[in-house]
Amino acid sequence: MRRHRPGFTLIELLVVVAIIALLIAILLPSLNRARDSAKKTVCASNLKGCGTAIGVYAAQWSDFVPVYPGWPGLANLYDVPMTNINDPVPGFCNPS
C-alpha cells in the first residue's frame, strides 16, 4: 500500500505563484505613482527652501538677490534688485 506524503503538488505551487504574480502586477503601478508623488513633494520642498533662503537674503541686503555669474546678459552685475522702486507692493515682482 502506498503512503501519502504530506506536501504540495506541482499544480498547487504553480497556482500560488500565479496568484502572487497577479497581485504584484496589480500593485506595481500604484507603487510607481506613489514614488512619483514623493519625488514631486521633495522637489516642491526644495524649491520652497530655496525661495525662503533667497527671500531672507534679500531682506538682509536691501532687496538684492545673488546672481549666478553664468547667466547670459548679467556678466557685469553682482546683484539684481528683487523689487522695482516704483512698485506699489514692495517685496513682490512686477507682473507686467
Maximal C-alpha separation, the chain: 103
Q: Are 64 and 79 in contact (CB under 8 A)?
A: yes
Name which residue leads in pLDDT, 28 or 3: 28
In the three-class reduction of DSSP (H, G, I as helix; E, B as strand; rest coil), residue 64 is classed as: strand
pLDDT above 90 for 59: no
pLDDT above 90 for 41: yes
How far apart CA 37 and CA 33 sit, in angstroms, is 6
What's phi and psi for 79, nearest 5 deg? -135, 150
pTM of this structure: 0.49
Domain range annotation of the chain: 16-47, 61-96
Confidence of residue 60 (pLDDT cuts 50, 70, 90): confident
Q: pLDDT tens-digit profile of 63-89? A: 777 766 666 555 444 555 555 556 555
Q: Provide the grid cell at 62.
A: 536691501
